[in-house]
Structure 1
Amino acid sequence: MTDPAAAKPKPQRSWRRAVLIALAVLCLLPIIGVLLHAVLPPPPTILMWQRVVAGDGLDYRWRGLNDISPNLVNAAIASEDARFCSHEGFDMEAIEKALDNNAEGGRIRGGSTISQQTAKNVFLWPQRGWIRKGLEAGYTVLIETVWSKRRIMEVYLNVAEFAPGVYGAEAASRRLFGKSARNLSPREAARLAAVLPAPRRYKAASPGPYVRRRAARVQAAAGTVRNQGLSACVLRPRGAA
C-alpha cells in the first residue's frame, strides 16, 4: 500500500523547481525580446513613457532605413560611433579614452557605442547604475549576435530622442524641418546628430553657437565616413537589391 505522505512532493524540491522555472523564464525573456525586435518595430520604450508622464508628449513614427536619408546614417556614425562597422558592440579604445579623461577630472564623457545605446533605449531604463550597465552589456551582445548592423542602425535612428517628446528620424524631421527623413540634407542630418548627446538641452532647428559648431564638425566627419566606406555595413551600394 502506497504511503500518502510519500506521494506528496517534498516542499524543498517544489521550491527548487519553482526557482529554476523562474530563472529559465528570466533568461528567455531577453532572448525572445531581441528575436521579436529583429523583425518588428519596438513599442514605445520606458524612456518614452517616462517623458509622457512628465508631460512631454509622444511623437514616435517608425520608418524603415530605406526611408531615412543616408546623410543621417553617416552623421550618426560620425557623431556617435566612428567604428560602428568594425566593432562587435563595444569600442574598447573609446572606453579607455573615456575612462582616462574622467580619471583626469575632465568633462565626463561616455564610451557607449550605437549598439549599446540601442540596447539601453529599447530594452532598459535611462538612469545610470551598475545593474543597468550590466544588463546593457548583455543586451548588446544579444543584438550584435542576432541583428545585423543595418537593423541596429535602423532601430537606433527610430528610437533615439531628438527633442523633448520627439523620437526617431521621421518625427524629428517632420517636426523640426517640415520634411520626410528620407529628404534630409547633409546639414540638417548633421544638426540632428549634433544634438543626440543632449537633445533636451540643445536644439537642432534653431541651434545656438555650440550646436552650429558641433554640427559643422559632424558634417565634415560624415563626409569622411561616406568617402572611406565607414558606413558600408549599413548602407547598401547603389544598385544593390
Structure 2
Amino acid sequence: MKKSKGGFFKRLLRFIIKAIIVFFLSSILITVIFRFVPVPGTPLMVIRFFEQTFGDKDVVFSKDWVSIDEMSKNVVVAAIAAEDQKFPDHWGFDLASIEKAMQHNKKKKRVHGASTISQQTAKNVFLWPHRDWIRKGLEVYFTFLIETIWSKERIIEVYLNIVELGNGVYGVEAASQKYFKKPAIKLTKAEAALLVSAFPNPFKFNPGKPSGYMFKRQQWIMGQMNNIEPTIEFK
C-alpha cells in the first residue's frame, strides 16, 4: 500500500512537472508566432460568440486586421495618450500608477485599474476577461513575454487590432468602417480621440452616437495628444 501511494505521488509529480514545461514552451512558441502572424482570435471573442449564440442577440463578428502602417498615426497617439502615456518607455508595468491605484482603492469603493497597454494586450490575447488572482499572475507572465519577444510597435499594433469596440466589433479598422465609413488610416485626430474614448466600456460608449461625456473625453484626449505626440519614440 505504501509503495502504491508513493508511486502515485511520483507519477503525479512527474505529470505536474511535464505540464509546467509544456505550458512554458507552448506559451513562448505562440508568443513568437504572434510576433509575426496576425492574431486570429482571442478568448474574449470566443466568449462573446457564445453569448450571442445562446443569448438573445444576433451573431455579429467584424474584425479586419491591418498593420500599424495602415492605421492613422492619430489613432496610435490617441490610444497612448488615453490609456498609457508611459508606454514607449516602460517595460510593461507602470509601478507608480499601480501604487497610486492601490492607494485609491483602499479609500474608495470604485476600483481603479493601472494596467498598461502591454498588460491589456497580454490579457486580451491570451487570457479570460474576468478578474482573479490566477489571471493577474498569468497576465504578469504574458506581459513579460510580449515585452521581451515583441517590439513596442508590435504590441500597439496587436492591441489596436483586437480591442473590443462594440457588439461583435474588434479592432480600429472594423470600428472605423462601422462608425466613420472610412479606413483607419484616414481617421482624423478628432475621430481617433472619439473612438479611443470608447475603449473603457464599448457597450456603454458608442462612437456612432457619442454622449456628452464622450465629447468631453475626446477633448481631453486631443489635448494629451498635442502634449505627447512630439515625444513619442518607441524603444
- What CA RMSD, in Å, does the superposition of the two structures yield over aligned residues? 1.6
* Shift in CA distance, 200/24, structure 1 to aligned 2, threshold 3 Å: same
* Post-superposition offset of 1:133: 0.4
Which of 163, 166, 175 is the aligned partner of 2:166?
Answer: 163
Is residue 197 of structure 1 aligned with residue 203 of structure 2? no
| Equivalent residues in 2 for 1:1-241, closer than 5 Å | 16-55=13-52, 57-105=60-108, 107-227=110-230, 229=231, 231-233=232-234
Structure 1: which 5+ residue stretches go unaligned? Answer: 1-9, 235-241
* Post-superposition offset of 1:223: 1.4
* Shift in CA distance, 25/206, structure 1 to aligned 2, threshold 3 Å: same
CA distance in 2, matches of 1:41, 1:79: 24
Provide the identity percentage: 42
String of CA shifts for 1:181-211, please: whole Å, max 9, x gaps: 0000000000111110111111112201001
Q: Partner amino acid for 1:101?
A: H
CA distance in 2, matches of 1:107, 1:17: 44
Residue in 1 that maps onto 2:3: none
Q: Secondary structure at the match of 2:37?
A: coil
Q: Structure 1 residues 216-225 or 112-121, which shifts more? A: 216-225
* Post-superposition offset of 1:51: 1.0
* Post-superposition offset of 1:106: 5.7
* Post-superposition offset of 1:22: 2.3
CA distance in 1, matches of 2:12, 2:196: 51
String of CA shifts for 1:5-41, please: whole Å, max 9, x gaps: xxxxx77765554443222111212111111100011
Q: TM-score, normalised by structure 1?
A: 0.88
CA distance in 1, matches of 2:120, 2:44: 12
Structure 2: which 5+ residue stretches go unaligned? Answer: 1-6, 53-58
Higher Cα Rg: structure 1 or 2?
1
String of CA shifts for 1:91-144, please: whole Å, max 9, x gaps: 011111111111111632110000000000000000110000000000000100
Is this contact kept in 2: 1:51–1:57, CA < 8 A? no
Identify, as 1 or 2, the structure richer in helix.
2
CA distance in 1, matches of 2:17, 2:198: 45
